[in-house]
Structure 1
Amino acid sequence: MKWARRIFQNLILLGSLTFAVVLISVAVALYLWQSTDAGRLPAKTAVILHAINNNLVTLDIDISPPRIVTGGGGGGGNPLLREDMHVPVMGDVQVPVRIYRPRGEGPFPIVMYYHGGAFIEGYGDIDTHDNIVRSLAASTNSVVISVGYRTAPDYVFPTAVEDSYAALRWAEENAANFNGDHETISVAGDSAGGNIATVMTLMSRDRQGPEITSQVLFYPLTTFQDIDLRSREIYDSGYYLLSRQVMYRARDLYTPEERMWSNPYTSPLHADDLTDLPPALIITAEFDPLRDEGEAYAEKLSESGNVVRATRYRGVMHGFVSFYEVMQSGRYGMQEASSFLRQSHAGVLQESPYQLQVRQPPQGMDRVREQAEAFAIAAYLLGRTGVDLLNP
């Protein structure tokens, strides 16, 4: 039976060697994915960007391995009611909205959410940003209304902002129908939607209402003008989920006339008057071409006498909050936004001198978990697709 024992031992050795080779190969691949011209990426950021940029997954596909590896994210304990409907805007036109609201009598604070997507058809809608809207509704115990404003190329500026403002007015006038508090309305949005959200505060001020309680802007676009911004130069390749090409395309289609670029309702960074605006939370990402203009807008809001909080999240890319279910930094961003909204709605938001806060990548056990999850996701993706392990 010695020959059988020897075969068994050899099989064990072969299996161990194969396992070791796989582990080493995945580790080497992950190391290479983390190395970029703009700097070294955290492991979780690296695997997500590698997966998307190599078409291993699309932005609307869950790239996580089984829940036992990644855990959950966001949410809250109170079940939400959801309603999809259309609301009137200009003329006889109606646009879609999605409403999430808590169960109970209320009235609950209202948050108007404006999705990102470069102002262009096919780049984003109320479905692509549904996870953010659901999470905000649950974590802030608010009615959150996601607005499906019309987009370019069929509809140029100012259609998107006029649709958005009409939906805001509709929410104020019909708040009682969905247990909303018409006296407590905030706005929020990401990227192009961040632009629209802050434009809503300007339009509401200029048009005498509705009064906005607060604004939350995730990596907002704040200018259509050609100005010197370092982040636009070093992160414009598109690898970090937003390219110079897309930004120019958005400008060409949404604001086809150059005179539109200086309008305060497209480029709030250059607005002559930014006084008397609601408290703002502006969240930016380190690896994002829109980083510098978002932070410049935060400074200008503060200089105009407004309450402003701004946080730059290191080690992450444009759109990172949308990945809160698989990225710890995304969860941090959602938690910060939810806390800000809860405080502003309760009237307990404390004022403090403006200072850009820099949030480091996850540390301690969060970092250990992120590394382990990144390794598991990398192995999962590579095993599923059979791509070259060492292809950066």
Structure 2
Amino acid sequence: MLCINTYVAVAFPKYILSSEVKFPVTIEENFAVICWLCENANSINLNPAKTVIDGDYSGGNMSTFISMMVKDVGTVDAIKAHALLYLSLAVEPSVFESYNVYSKEDRFLSAKQAHLCIHENLGESEIELSACLTLYLLDTVEQLKGLHLALILSNECDTFRNKSKACTVSLPFVGTYTVEMHVLGAIHAYMSTPQYKFTLKLAIDFI
């Protein structure tokens, strides 16, 4: 539906899943896909100047990292924008209200499950990633400048709701055009619930 309604080609990077590999292997694999698309776009009839990266939860985190990497290596034009769904951009979540409210064992994404996801993805590099992701929220103005325009979707009943909102607050202050939508009644990983169609429409309009 996304492909048909936006008249775009969709690339699905085939990266190695966690916990077979740890951070930053999957980030580097996805970054390599962006580089390949830029170098070979003409041969597959694509316009590399209109690349949008999209992801939910861990995929959104990876998309964020790729946007930062593209900027840091001086190829910022390789990406036009990124659409990020229910992000988790700081490893230590307990400072956020939504974590304390929605991470109980009877919720869709409990604190125990969230910790397991972090461990499976990061392994021994958890401290390193925590520092990198915290930079995205709290870094200097110069380091945050130049990131791509962003659509950020947060969920009302999500353990990581306030993490997404923290990111949304940071980016406009450094000149990044940012649209944030708060999906009422949505839980974490809600793409199999009725709110999915509304979210898809937002992503289509954004792209």
Q: Given the alignment of the two structures, is residue 234 of structure 1 paired with residue 91 of structure 2, yes or no?
A: no
Check if 1:249 corresponds to 2:116. Answer: yes
Is 2:47 the counterpart of 1:167? no
Alignment partners' CA distance in 1, 2:120 and 2:46: 35
Q: CA distance change for structure 1 residues 234 and 155 in 2, over 3 Å: closer, same or farther? A: same
Q: Distance in 2 between matches of 1:201 and 1:265?
A: 13
Note the residue ranges of structure 2 that are not aligned, 5 or more in a row. none
Match of 2:67 in 1: 201
The CA deviation at 1:218 is 0.8
- Verify: 1:269 aligned to 2:147, yes or no: no
Shift in Å, 1:207: 0.9
- How far apart are the structure 1 equivalents of 2:204 and 2:30? 22
Once the two structures are superposed, the pairs formed by residues 1-392 of structure 1 within 5 Å of their partners are: 135-209=1-75, 211=77, 212-237=79-104, 239-255=106-122, 256-264=124-132, 268-272=136-140, 273-320=143-190, 322-323=191-192, 327=194, 329-341=195-207
Q: Which structure carries more helix by proportion?
A: 2
Give 1 or 2 for the bigger CA radius of gyration.
1
Question: Residue deviations 1:169-228, cap 9 Å, x none?
Answer: 111112123321112111110001010111111000001125211110011111113550
Distance 1:153 1:266, change over 3 A: farther
Give the share of equivalent positions with the same residue, in percent: 23
Distance 2:105 2:189 in 1: 12
CA RMSD in angstroms comes to 1.9
Query: How far apart in 1 are the matches of 2:134 and 2:33?
Result: 18
CA contact (8 A) 2:58 2:87 kept: yes
The unaligned stretches of length 5 or more in structure 1 are 1-134, 342-392
Alignment CA distance shift 1:158-1:185 (3 Å): same
Between Structure 1 and Structure 2, the one with more strand by share is 1
Amino acid at match of 1:187: I
Distance 1:215 1:319, change over 3 A: same
Q: TM-score if structure 2 supplies the norm length? A: 0.89
Cα distance in structure 2, aligned partners of 1:160 and 1:223: 18
Runs of 4+ in 1 over 4 A off after TM superposition: none
1:257 match: secondary structure = helix
Determine which structure has greater relative contact order: mean sequence separation of CA pairs < 8 Å that are 6+ residues apart, divided by chain length. 2
Deviations 1:2-56 (A, max 9, x none): xxxxxxxxxxxxxxxxxxxxxxxxxxxxxxxxxxxxxxxxxxxxxxxxxxxxxxx
TM-score, length-normalised on structure 1? 0.49
* Structure 2 SS opposite 1:231: helix
| Number of the residue aligned with 1:26 | none
Q: d(CA) in 2 for partners of 1:164 and 1:266?
A: 21
- What displacement does 1:243 show? 2.1
